[in-house]
Amino acid sequence: MSDTTINSDSPSWTDVACQHAQAVTNSKLPIIEPFRIKSVDPIQARTRPERIEFLEQCHGNLFLLPADAVLIDLLTDSGTGAMSSEQWAALMRGDESYAGAKSYQRFEQAVQDILGLPHVVPTHQGRAAESLLFKILVQAGDVVPNNTHFDTTRANVEAMGAIALDLPCDALADTRSNEPFKGNMDLNALEVVLADDRQHVPLVMMTLTNNAGGGQPASLDNLRGVRALCDAYAVPLYIDACRFAENAWLQHLRDPDVAGLSVADLVKHAFSLADGCTMSAKKDGLANIGGFLALRDAELAESARRVMVVTEGFPTYGGLAGRDLDAVAQGLHEVIDEDYLGYRISSIRYVCERLDARGIPVVRPYGGHAVFLDAARFLPHVQAAQYPGQALAIELYVEGGIRSCEIGSVMLAQVNSETGEEIPAAQELVRLAIPRRTYTQSHMDYVIEIIDRVWQRREQIGGVGIHSEPPVLRHFGARFHPLPQSNPVSA
Ligand SMILES: *Cc1c(COP(=O)(O)O)cnc(C)c1O
């Protein structure tokens, strides 16, 4: 026994900690991944000549690359995240009963608890939920306003013979502006549409976050404004909820009026304004597959269930295995964790800030799920008709095995129905989507260096032409050929 006895004068741990805290400088600690790795998935670098050979084989379309030709896969954040140990455990609890499985009850409960929408229809992914919603609400000749339609949402609206109308706020067009809520809807434009043509507007949609527009959030105020217009014209409001948690976190960070609210509360507020939502659980469901349509109206939910049995499956599994339903239920609880969201958003900011500091044109403010490069400013000598975004995405692959995704005129150009000419997209972006909980900071450092190398030789990079393309969602199947750099930039 030590002869040091404890007496009433001995300081407590709290006293000692207080003294230390005063001495410590307030240096900022790095934000670390709030998890450790339990299972690893090896990745392997190819040589540059091998990558060029792969590029030949896939005709410059990165969607057609075999995944093992890719080193860092930032094609999408959809279904590419890592599940937690609790999600893997949930898989084992999966109830594979055809009807009324316990997995469905847990899934339904999670959606009801987190989003506050009562009627839950599972689907195999987001686009199936969109297809169901539009089949029950939209008719040929209708117009569906949205802050910005995602590609599958647009395709599903158009499949009904309706018009997908994008009404983003003005700030979205300026990729340099730091407006905090560029995902907002243009309320004046929406009012004009409703005032002119209410009878052809079956619903209004808000995409949270605005994926096609750079992962930009919409504010709670803007959502309230949209709801007020919907009320005034008696039109239902639906949310494309794919990144609802990231949207809420960005509201929490950027809007002083709501900074005091938790993410869970912000989510509740947003969805209390909606008549329903479509969701891809491959995004903020933190799962590898899954989705749902959630509705406030019981009769509408019944209509959706009648339609879904034909293509998706029985209403309590919707094309998913019971275990998938359980993984999503658990994922929905994990995605609103503020440590997780803080880490996710700051790792994206980490990349953007470093690119920005080197003068590389990234979309500002930094968005929720991806780093967006502004290809129009990265390759100003490449015209929109020569697809600068596709050209840049190809170079990132050749330089460092990084797979990214063009979100520009390849994906979103429209055709002038009179002249048959292509109308370029509003922006030429390259999206480097960051899978959830999958890559580490050193992977991000590598990404920064590869982008910088391409930036250093940008003046030699020419555009691409389209050799052949499928009739819908052409970015998935188009074949490209390189064009020579025909507008040499003077040094
Ligand atoms: C991914 C996505 C969808 C479609 O979801 P899938 O699961 O890919 O079918 C719809 N809207 C947005 C905003 C998305 O990001």
CATH of the domain at 55: 3.90.1150.10
Last-in-domain residue among 319, 335, 351: 335
CB 464 within 8 A of CB 382: no
pLDDT tens, residue by residue, 20-73: 766 666 677 877 899 999 999 999 999 999 999 999 999 999 999 999 999 999
Q: Where does a domain end: 335, 353, 375?
A: 335
Quickly list H helices, 145-255. 151-159, 187-197, 220-233, 244-254
| Residue 437 per-residue DSSP state | T
Which of 277, 280, 412, 434 has most ligand 1 atoms within 8 Å of its beta carbon, as the pocket-test mutant?
280
CA distance 364 to 170: 14
Question: 3-state DSSP call for residue 59?
Answer: coil
Q: Bin 406: left if φ > 0, else alpha if -120 < ψ < 50, else beta.
A: beta
Cα-Cα-Cα-Cα dihedral of 138, 140, 145, 151, to 10°?
A: 90
The CA 279 to ligand 1 mean position distance, Å, reads 7
153 and 203 assigned to the same domain: yes
Q: Are 111 and 117 in contact (CB under 8 A)?
A: yes
360 and 318 assigned to the same domain: no
The verdict on residue 119 lying in a domain is yes
Please check whether residue 193 lies inside any domain of the structure. yes
pLDDT at res. 214: 80
Ligand 1: which of 124, 130, 242 to mutate, judged by most atoms within 8 Å of the beta carbon?
Answer: 242
Question: Domain for residue 80, yes or no?
Answer: no
Ligand 1 pocket mutation, candidates 131, 134, 211, 311, criterion most atoms within 8 A of CB = 211
| Token reading at 238 | 């639906």
Cα 84 to averaged position of ligand 1 atoms, centre (Å): 22
Distance (Å, rounded) from C-alpha 386 to C-alpha 157? 28
Look at ligand 1, atom 3, and give the residue with the nearest C-alpha: 126
Whether residues 304 and 445 share a domain: the answer is no
Residues of the chain where predicted confidence (pLDDT) is lower than 70: 1-7, 21-26, 486-491
Residue 228 sits in a domain whose CATH number is: 3.40.640.10
| Same domain assignment for residues 311 and 439 | no
Query: 278 CA to middle of ligand 1, Å?
Result: 9
Residue 71 CA to ligand 1 center (angstroms) comes to 24
How far is CA 450 from each of CA 275, 400, 444, 460, rounded to the nearest angstrom?
44, 6, 10, 16
How far, in Å, CA of 399 to CA of 401, rounded? 6
Distance CA 478, CA 106 (A): 41
Cα–ligand 1 centroid distance for 473 (angstroms): 13
Sheet holding 291-295, edge to edge: 119-123, 291-295, 276-280, 237-240, 204-207, 143-146, 163-166
Task: Name which of 219, 447, 209, 438 is nearest 344 in CA terms.
Answer: 438
| Claim to verify: residue 224 and residue 353 sit in the same structural domain | no
Nearest-atom number in ligand 1 for the CA of 207 is 13
State how far Cα 102 lies from the chain centre: 29
52's CB contacts (< 8 A; 6+ apart) are: 398
User: Is 412 in the same domain as 390?
Assistant: yes
Q: Closest ligand 1 atom, CA of 128? A: 9
Quick one: 285 and 377 in the same domain? no
Name residue, tokens 């316990």.
102
The total of structural domains in the chain comes to 2
Q: Which residues are within 8 A (CB) of 18 and not within 5 positions of it... i.e. 6 or more apart?
A: none
Pocket perturbation via mutation, ligand 1, pick of 130, 150, 278 by most ligand atoms within 8 A of CB = 150
Atom of ligand 1 nearest to the CA of 211: 13
- The whole domain housing 344 covers 48-70+338-482
Closest atom of ligand 1 to 291 CA is 7
Residue 37 lies in a domain: no
How many angstroms does the Cα of residue 40 sit away from the middle of ligand 1? 27
**What's the 373 CA to ligand 1 centre distance in angstroms?**
20
- Asked whether the beta carbons of 122 and 308 are under 8 A apart, the reply is no
- Residue 36, classified by CB atoms within 10 Å of its CB into exposed (0-12), middle (13-18) or buried (19+), is exposed
- What angle do helix axes 388-400 and 441-456 make, rounded to 10 degrees? 120
Let me know whether 446 and 298 are in one domain.
Answer: no
Q: Whose CA is closest to 259, among 312, 306, 285, 220?
A: 220
Question: Of ligand 1's atoms, which has the minimum distance to the CA of residue 209?
Answer: 13
Q: How far is CA 408 from CA 323, 382, 384, 413, in A?
A: 37, 13, 9, 7
Same domain? For 345 and 324 the reply is no
Q: Tell how far the Cα of 352 is from the centroid of ligand 1, in angstroms.
A: 24
Q: Which residues in 330-421 belong to E strands, given as ranges?
A: 370-374, 402-403, 405-407, 414-415
What is the pLDDT, as a whole number, of residue 490? 47
The angle formed by the CA atoms of residues 76, 172 and 368, to the nearest 5 degrees, is 35
Q: Are residues 344 and 289 located together in one domain of the fold? A: no
Give, in order, the Cα–Cα distances in Å from 136 to each of 41, 308, 309. Answer: 42, 11, 14
Q: Which of 335, 364, 383 is the last residue of a domain?
A: 335
Length of the chain: 491
Question: Using CA atoms in the order 398, 399, 402, 403, what is the torsion angle rounded to 10 degrees?
Answer: -30
Q: Which residues line ligand 1 (CB under 6 A)?
A: 78, 125-127, 150, 152-153, 207, 211, 240, 242, 280, 282-283, 291
This prediction has a pTM of: 0.91
Q: Write the single-letter amino acid at 87.
A: Q
Phi-psi region at 354: left, alpha or beta (left = phi > 0; alpha = psi -120 to 50)? alpha
Question: Is 127 in the same domain as 240?
Answer: yes
Ligand 1 atom showing the smallest separation from residue 127 Cα: 9
Gap from CA of 130 to ligand 1 centroid (Å):
9
For residues 469 and 392, membership in a common domain is answered with yes
Cα 78 to ligand 1 centre (Å): 8
